[in-house]
Structure 1
Amino acid sequence: MTKEELTTTFEEIKGSLKSYILRVTASIQDAEDIVQDTYVKALEKIDTFRGDSSLKTWIFAISFNLAKDNLRVKKRWTENVTDICKEAAMSNRPFFQKAMEIRTTSPQGQFEIKEHIAFCFTCVSKSLPLEQHVCLLLKEVYEFKVKEIARITEISEAMVKYYLHTGRSKMVDVFQGRCALIHKEGVCHQCTELNGIFNPQQKAEEELVKIEMARKAESADKEHLFDLRMNIVKGIDPFESDAAELQLHHLEHNREVMEKYLEKNKD
C-alpha cells in the first residue's frame, strides 16, 4: 500500500466518512477535525495495513477510535431532544434571523421535509447508547456488513448483532411514538411546522407527496416505515444537500442547547 493509493481511496470516501462523524458527534467542527486527523493517522500507520479488511473499513476504524474517547465522556441526548430544542428555538430570535437569512440567500438554504427527516434521525439517534448508535449508523446508513462493523468498532460480531437489534428496535419505537408525520398520535410536528415557516406558500401536504414514507404511513408497519426513513437518510449528504447550510445551522443550535441542558440536569 502506497501513500498515493491511500490518498486516492481517502478522497473517494471522505464525504461519507465526514457525514458519518457528523451524525455520530452532531458537531461540524468535530467532524472536520476528526476527518483530518484520520487522514494524518492513516498515513502514519500505513505500514500496519495488512489487507485483511478493505481500506475503507480500516480508515473508518481509525476514525472511530479517534472519536470514541471524546464521545464516551459526553452524556447521551434524550429522546425528547426535538421538544427541548424547539422550546429553546422559540425564544432565540438570532437563531431564526440567521435561518431566514440562509433560507433567502444561500444555494444550500432550501427546506424540504425529507431533509428534516434525516436531520431528525441525527438528533434522536444520539439518545441511543454509543455502541448501538454507531452500529446502527454503520449498518443502516453506510451499509457495512456485520463483520466489517466488528472490525471498525473492535466489538465481537455477536455483540454487533445484539447492538443492531436493540438499537433498531429502540429507534423504531421512538419514531412510531413521536413522529406525527408517520403516526397520527405522534407528538412531534416539527417537519410540517418548519415547512410552514420556510415555505409559507407551500402546503405541507404538497411536500409530503414526494416522500414514499408519508404515502405508506397508513398501510405499512412500523418496521417498514423505519426502513423507508433510512432510505431517506442514506440519500442525503448533510454537507452537500440543497438544504445543507440551513440544516447544519439548525444542528449547531441543537447541539449547543443539549450541551447546556445536560449540564444543567446532570446528576
Structure 2
Amino acid sequence: MENEEILKLAISGDINAFQTLFAEFQNQLKSYLYRLLTDRDDVDDLTHDTFIRAFTRISTFNRDSSLKTWVFKIATNLAYDHLRKLKRWQADAQDRAADLAIGSEEIREVFWMVHDTSPAGAYEMREHIDYCFTCISKTLLIENQVALILKHIYDFQVKEICLILDKTEGVIKHLLNDARNIMTDIFEQRCALINKNGVCHQCSHINEIFNPKQHQQEELMKLELVKASKKYNRDQLFTLRTLLVKAIDPLHAAGTDFHEEIMRCLRTAIGEKSDFFDRDADKVE
C-alpha cells in the first residue's frame, strides 16, 4: 500500500495505519528527543505522549508540511514544556561531572561495571564527541538548541523549522546563527581534542582511563576532526563536528550505556537529578 493511502486511513482514525507511518521516523524522533532531554526514561515518556497526542489530533493535519515535520512539532512542544521547568546547563557542567566522578568511588565503580559488562558499554572517542556536542548544546536557549539540532543534525529545512517553532524565516536564521556562534566559541575554548590549551578535563581523563596511553594518539588521529584541526578554521571544524554527530545514534551505539551513566552523573553533579543516589536508595528499600 502506498504511503498516501496509508495516510488517508490514518487521518480517518485508523491507528494501525498511523503506527505504520509513525514507525518510519520513530527512531530518529527518539534520538532527537534524547539530544534535548538527555534521559532515556523521559524520551520514552515523551515519545509515547507524542504518539497519543498526534493520533488524537490527526484529523487536524492539513498537509502544510510532511507528517514527520508535523509530529516533530508536537514532540518539540512537549519537550519545551518539560525543559522550561529546568535550568539551562552551564559550560562547566561536564567539569562538575568529572569532579563528582573523581571524588566518588561509587560512581567510578558504576562506570567500570557498565564498561566491562554491558554490550553497549564501550568507550569510543567518536561517541564521546557526540556526547559533548549534546552537553554543549544544552547551554543554549531551548529555541536555539532546537533550531540548531534540527538543521545541522537532522537535516530539516529552514521552512520546516519555521513550522516546528512557529517562527518566521528571519527569526530561525537568527537563532541558527547565534546557536552556531555560541557553540563554536565554547568548543574553541574548551575542547582539548583539537586545542592544546583546552580545559575540558573530562574527555582527557576518560580517554586516559579506557584507552592505554600508547593507543590514545592513534585513536584520536583516526578522527577527521582532529586531523583537520591545524588546517581548518573554527567554522569548518564545527561543520566537521556536526557530520560526526549526524552519523551517531545516541540511543543505539557501541557506548550508549556507558554514556548514559556519564550523563546520569552529570545531571547529578548539576543538581538536575540525583539518579545515582536515588537508584541506590531504591535498591536498599
Q: How far is the alpha carbon of 1:131 from its aligned partner? A: 1.0
Tell me whether 1:114 sits opposite 2:108 in the alignment: no
In structure 1, C-alpha distance between the alignment counterparts of 2:73 and 2:100, rounded to whole Å: 36
Deviation by residue 1:203-236 (Cα, 9 ceiling, x = unmatched): 2111112210000111110101111111111111
Give unpaired runs (5+ residues) of structure 2.
1-6, 274-285
Identity %: 39
Specify which of 80, 83, 97 is matched with residue 71 of structure 1. 83
In structure 2, C-alpha distance between the alignment counterparts of 1:155 and 1:25, rounded to whole Å: 22
Tell me whether 1:249 sits opposite 2:268 in the alignment: no
Specify which of 135, 150, 167 is matched with residue 138 of structure 1. 150
After TM superposition, list the pairs within 5 Å mapping 1:28-67 onto structure 2: 28-67=40-79
In structure 2, C-alpha distance between the alignment counterparts of 1:4 and 1:54, rounded to whole Å: 19
- The alignment's TM-score, normalised by the length of structure 2, stands at 0.88
Deviation by residue 1:144-188 (Cα, 9 ceiling, x = unmatched): 011101111112221111000000011011101110111121111
For 1:192, the equivalent position in structure 2 comes to 204
Give unpaired runs (5+ residues) of structure 1.
262-267
User: Are the structure 2 counterparts of residues 201 and 102 from structure 1 closer, same or farther at C-alpha, using a change threshold of 3 Å?
Assistant: farther
Q: How far is the alpha carbon of 1:202 from its aligned partner? A: 5.3
For 1:265, the equivalent position in structure 2 comes to none
Deviation by residue 1:35-54 (Cα, 9 ceiling, x = unmatched): 11101111101111111100
Q: How far is the alpha carbon of 1:201 from its aligned partner? A: 6.7
For 2:116, the equivalent position in structure 1 comes to 104
In structure 1, C-alpha distance between the alignment counterparts of 2:236 and 2:130, rounded to whole Å: 16
- The alignment's TM-score, normalised by the length of structure 1, stands at 0.94
The AA in structure 2 aligned to 1:88 is L
Contact 1:81 1:258 in 2 (8 A): yes
Q: How far is the alpha carbon of 1:197 from its aligned partner? A: 0.8
SS at 2:271's partner residue? helix
User: Are the structure 2 counterparts of residues 243 and 38 from structure 1 closer, same or farther at C-alpha, using a change threshold of 3 Å?
Assistant: same
Q: How far is the alpha carbon of 1:259 from its aligned partner? A: 2.5
In structure 1, C-alpha distance between the alignment counterparts of 2:268 and 2:146, rounded to whole Å: 21
For 2:228, the equivalent position in structure 1 comes to 216
The AA in structure 2 aligned to 1:237 is D
SS at 1:39's partner residue? helix
| C-alpha RMSD of matched pairs (Å) | 1.5
For 1:156, the equivalent position in structure 2 comes to 168
Q: Return the index of the structure with the highest Cα Rg.
A: 2
User: Are the structure 2 counterparts of residues 199 and 184 from structure 1 closer, same or farther at C-alpha, using a change threshold of 3 Å?
Assistant: closer
Q: How far is the alpha carbon of 1:96 from its aligned partner? A: 1.3
Report the count of equivalent residues. Answer: 261
The AA in structure 2 aligned to 1:245 is D
Q: How far is the alpha carbon of 1:260 from its aligned partner? A: 5.2
Tell me whether 1:24 sits opposite 2:19 in the alignment: no
